[in-house]
Chain A
Amino acid sequence: MKLAVASGKGGTGKTTIAVNLARVLAEEGPVQFIDCDVEEPNAHFFLKPSLDTEREVSILVPVIDRVLCNGCGECVKACAFNAIAVLGHKALVFAEICHGCGGCARVCPTKAITEQPNRLGVVSTGPAGNIFFVEGRIDVGTPLSVPVTKGARREIKEQDGIVILDAPPGTTCPVVAAVAGCDYVLLVTEPTPFGLNDLKLAVELVRELDIPHGVVINRADIGDQGVEEFCRREGISIHLRIPFERQFAETIAHGGLLVDAFPAWRPKFQALWHKIQEEVTV
């Protein structure tokens, strides 16, 4: 069972939900936690894994043999991204624009192009108690995040029980890379017009991808009724409402887990899991 925790908008408490759920579930069986928020991976603050293995994520970019290259320009025609040009009679590669598609190398008539890895980020793994923890992290200044998300997902051991994926916020490509192929998406939102607006976009996306989904409302008591009304109208279940509490905010600020600091919340997260399971098996 793969569960992605996502939110149209950042800062709604997506990671909070994901890590607390992982903690209570890990008491009953193996759990894998995949931090796919590769621009801002934060789950490690809460689950405190000892990351003992690191793997670089890179794409293959062309390297030109200036002796073999005759400047014919076939590679330029093949590149959809303008990442290569013939200037000064030789092909010139602009690696930061290159998507690593390999198109140029395939067409070069003189075999002047070889491909070499260009690093985009790193995937780290290690145990966090009973949890097998995976984190993808892009290098600062790298515009391509999807390969790093895919790299993190590649660490998933398919046979091993529950997988929780912390998706990046928003609704663009990197989110699709994180939630595609999951059995369920839990959408975390806030009861404000901002939260509602972004929730609508997120719902549009998961519907398009045809993945069952439900909602958690965080800071449920400050705001308005918009999110509740929207979910009722659209037939989306609200599985959990977490009120605003200064103590919660403080716990989270210091990297604490709600289910540890406030044991009364443990059954609520367990109940959340059961509701999700019911919807998946239906």
Chain B
Amino acid sequence: MKQLLILSGKGGTGKTTAAGVFAALAPNKILVDCDVDAADFHLLLAPEILETHDFDALPGAKIDPGLCNGCGICASVCRFEAALKQADGKYYVDPYLCEGCRVCVTACPAGAISLVDRLAGQWFVSSTRFGPLIHARLIPGEENSGLLVAKIRQVATQKANEKGYDLIIIDGPPGIGCPVISSLTGIDLALIITEPTVAGKHDLERVIQLARHFNIPVQVAINKWDLAPEKTDDIEAYCAAENIPVAGRIPFDAELVKSIAGGKTAVEAHSGPGTEALVALWENMSRILQNKSAQNQ
């Protein structure tokens, strides 16, 4: 079983559009949406949710206003500036700032602070017209998306092993932070979709550094390459110098945007130059993954 991760560094580069095409074309796979913060993959896949599970965050501190005497010790020990003074001189804990370290709970001389459970989000097992989808939703403002990513990946791997799926296709989170780190571990191939802009190139370099840090093989594809051909050359030169293969170039194609509006993957909606390039990109990925499987045997 192989795991293909699609990343972007910067968001909005067409990562999910590409993932949609791969979902439509790949045989015998499980789909995972690791962009738990702003999950979009389901919009293309119209999942029917079969299972819903709660995802708990670390319990947070809560001050009982009846017991708080306003001494302010909680605020002086909290390193996250989460214990704040109210107008009436008593203190409260801002749930967005609290990291759940419990230091204030032990420090409060009045015993006014206790821990309360917090729901961070939910994760789902769904069925789609292209096979099973594991996805999640983090409550806005919550943290620990890295752990939620680890959780749904673990569910996907377990399912793939049980049911004999050959491939897990993962729509990754944007950025280079905690959720991306969680999405990279144990990946067989990471495809980074970038754009020919100064910002796109910079972000690409940061994701590549990160993937290298974890020893993950990387390929790059350049979306909307014709919007700035010199920048595209620039990125390709960078990739060549870094020994990173460029697996495809996708031209700007307004039809791709429209296909999303219909809730369809590009291959289902039309057959313009953008779609063709994405299909070619998938064929490339598929070949690389097959070679990897062959090597393992």
Please say whether the chains A and B touch (CB closer than 8 A): yes
Residues of A within 8 A of B (CB): 8-12, 15, 39-40, 42, 45, 59-60, 78, 80-81, 99-103, 106-107, 138, 140-145, 150, 168-176, 180, 190, 192-194, 197-198, 201-202, 204-205, 208-209, 219, 222-224, 226, 244, 246, 249-250, 252-255
Question: From residue A103, how far is it (CB to closest CB) to chain B in Å?
Answer: 4
Task: Tell me whether A106 and B198 are in contact in the complex, defined as CB-CB below 8 angstroms, given that A197-B43, A209-B141 are known contacts.
Answer: no
Which chain A residues lie closer than 8 Å to B258 at the CB level?
A: 222-223
Q: Which residues does chain B contribute within 8 Å of A10, judged by CB atoms?
A: 8, 10-12, 38, 174-175
* CB pair B77 A42 closer than 8 Å: no
Residues of B at the A interface (CB closer than 8 Å) are: 8-13, 16, 37-40, 43, 58, 77, 79-81, 96-97, 99-103, 106-107, 138, 140-143, 145-146, 174-178, 181, 195-200, 202-203, 206, 209-210, 213, 224, 227-228, 231, 252, 254, 257-258, 260-261, 263
Whether the pair A40, B40 counts as a contact (CB closer than 8 A) is no
Rounded to whole Å, the gap between the CB of B46 and the closest CB of chain A is 11
Report B-chain residues with C-beta under 8 Å of the C-beta of A168. Answer: 175
What are the nearest 4 A-B pairs in CB distance?
A11-B12, A10-B11, A101-B101, A253-B228
Q: Which of B176, B177, B261 has the most CB of A within 10 A?
A: B177
Q: Which residues of B contact A254 (CB under 8 A)?
A: 197-198, 228, 231
Check B107–A106 contact: CB distance below 8 A. Answer: yes
The smallest C-beta distance from B204 to any residue of chain A, in angstroms, reads: 10
Query: What is the minimal beta-carbon distance from A120 to any residue of chain B, in angstroms?
Result: 11
| Residue pair A106, B103 in contact (C-beta under 8 Å) | yes
Known: A9-B11, A141-B210, A205-B140. A193 touches B263 (CB 8 A): yes
In whole angstroms, how far apart are the Cα atoms of A218 and B80 in the complex?
Answer: 36
**Contact between B40 and A249 (Cβ–Cβ < 8 Å)?**
no
| Bound-complex Cα distance A60 to B143 (A) | 21
Interchain CB contact under 8 A, B257 and A192: yes
Residues B38 and A9 in contact, CB atoms below 8 Å apart: yes
Residues in A with CB closer than 8 Å to B100 are 80
Beyond known contacts A169-B174, A226-B261, A253-B197: 13 more, CB 8 A cutoff: A10-B8, A42-B199, A80-B100, A101-B80, A102-B79, A144-B178, A169-B11, A172-B140, A172-B141, A172-B143, A198-B38, A205-B140, A249-B228
Closest to B203 in A: A40
Query: In the bound complex, do residue B199 and residue A102 qualify as a contact, i.e. CB atoms below 8 Å apart?
Result: no
Residues in A whose Cβ lies below 8 Å from that of B175: 10, 39-40, 168-170
In the docked arrangement, what's the CA distance between A78 and B100, Å?
A: 12
The complex places the Cα of A200 from the Cα of B296 at a distance, in Å, of 45
- A224 vs B10: C-alpha distance when bound (angstroms): 24
- Say whether B43 contacts A39, CB under 8 Å: no
Q: Which residues of B contact A249 (CB under 8 A)?
A: 224, 227-228, 252
Establish whether residues A143 and B177, one from each chain, have CB atoms under 8 Å apart when the complex forms. Answer: yes
Whole-angstrom CA separation of A191 from B206 in the bound complex: 29
> Contact at B106–A39, with CB atoms within 8 Å?
no
Give A226 to B262 CA distance when docked, in angstroms: 11
B177 and A171 form a contact (CB under 8 A): no
13 A–B contacts from the bound complex (CB under 8 Å): A10-B8, A11-B10, A45-B199, A103-B103, A106-B77, A142-B177, A172-B141, A176-B96, A193-B43, A194-B16, A201-B38, A208-B140, A254-B198
Q: Chain A residues near B16 (CB, 8 Å)? A: 194
CB <8 Å contact, A170 and B96: no
A39 to B77, CA, bound (A): 28
Residue among A12, A170, A205 with the highest chain B CB neighbour number at 10 A: A170
CB-based contact A11/B13 at 8 Å: yes
Which B residues are CB-close (under 8 A) to A223?
257-258, 261
Q: How many angstroms between the C-alpha atoms of A33 and B145 in the bound complex?
A: 28
**Residues of the B chain whose Cβ atoms lie less than 8 Å from the Cβ of A176:** 96-97, 141
Residue of A nearest to B103 (CB): A103
Q: For A171, what are the chain B residues with a Cβ–Cβ distance below 8 Å?
A: 37-38, 138, 140-141
Residues of the A chain whose Cβ atoms lie less than 8 Å from the Cβ of B96: 173, 176, 180, 209
B176 and A140 within 8 A (CB): yes
- Chain B's nearest CB lies how many Å from the CB of A189? 10
Contacts known (A205-B140, A253-B231); A222 close to B106, Cβ less than 8 A: no
Chain B residues lying within 8 Å of A143, measured Cβ to Cβ, are: 146, 177-178, 181
**A194, B260: Cβ atoms closer than 8 Å:** yes
Contact of B101 with A170 in the complex, beta carbons under 8 Å: no
A192 with B260, Cβ < 8 A, contacts A138-B177, A173-B96 known: yes
CB-contact partner of A99 in B101, B138, B200, B228, under 8 A: B101
Q: Please tell me if the beta carbons of A80 and B198 are within 8 angstroms of each other in the complex.
A: no
Q: Which residue of the partner chain, among A39, A173, A224, contacts B176 with CB atoms under 8 Å?
A: A39
Contact (Cβ within 8 A) A224 B261: yes
Whether B210 and A81, one on each chain, are in contact in the complex, defined by CB atoms closer than 8 angstroms, is: no
Q: Which residue of B lies closest to A142 (CB)?
A: B177
